[in-house]
Amino acid sequence: MGEWTKKSRGFFTFMKTKGRLWLLLGGAMLGVLLLLFGGMSGTVKEEVDTPDTMVERVAELQAYEARLEKELEVVCEAVAGVGETEVMVSFESGYTVQYQKNGDNDPATVGTGSNEEALFHTLLPPAVAGVGIVCRGGNDPTVRETLTELISTTLGIPSNRVYITGK
C-alpha cells in the first residue's frame, strides 16, 4: 500500500510541477460538459403527442366527421320520400398511418441510428363504427331499407351498423 501512495503522490507532484494539473482539470470539465450537452441536438424529433398536436388531431377528426355527416345528409335527402335529415357518424378510432414496406414486409426506413425514420406511405381516414340517421320519412320501411342499403354500400359497413328512424 505504501508503494501505491508514493506513486500517486508522484503523479500529482508531476502534474503540479509541470503546470499540467489545470490542464487535467480543464479536460475533465470539458468531458463532463460534453456528456451533459452532447446528447442534445438542434433538431428535436417529437414522437410523443404534445397538447398542441393532440388538439390538431382532434380538430382534424372533428372536421372530417362534420364533412362526412354533411355529405351523408345530402345523399340521404336526395332519396325519394326523404325530407329533412340529420346524420351522426361514430368512428372506431383515429387516423391510421401506413408506412412503405421493404422486401421483408418490414417498414422501409431512411437514416441510421437515432436519425432512422420509417417512410410514410398513406394516411387512412378513421373506420366508421356506425351511422345514425333521423329523417322525415324514416318511419317508412321502404325508405328505411333504401337508406340502409345506400349508407352501408357508400361507407362499406354492414347494414346492422346503420340505424334509421323518422322525425
The secondary element (H helix, E strand) that includes residue 88 is strand 85-91
Of 150, 115, 119, the C-alpha closest to 133 is 150
**C-beta atoms surrounding 149 within 10 Å:** 12
- Which of 51-55, 59-63, 133-137 is the most confident on average? 133-137
Residue type, 103: G
d(CA 108, CA 96): 17
pLDDT at 100: 79
Confidence of residue 10 (pLDDT cuts 50, 70, 90): low
pLDDT in tens, 55-84: 777 788 888 889 999 999 999 999 999 999
| Mean pLDDT calculated for residue range 135-143 | 94
14 phi/psi in degrees, rounded to 5: -60, -45
pLDDT at 148: 95
Cell numbers given for 12: 500529482
**At residue 6, does pLDDT exceed 60?**
no
**C-beta atoms surrounding 143 within 10 Å:** 21
pLDDT at 43: 47
122 phi/psi in degrees, rounded to 5: -150, 150
Confidence of residue 125 (pLDDT cuts 50, 70, 90): confident
| Integer Rg of the chain from CA | 33
**At residue 2, does pLDDT exceed 60?**
no
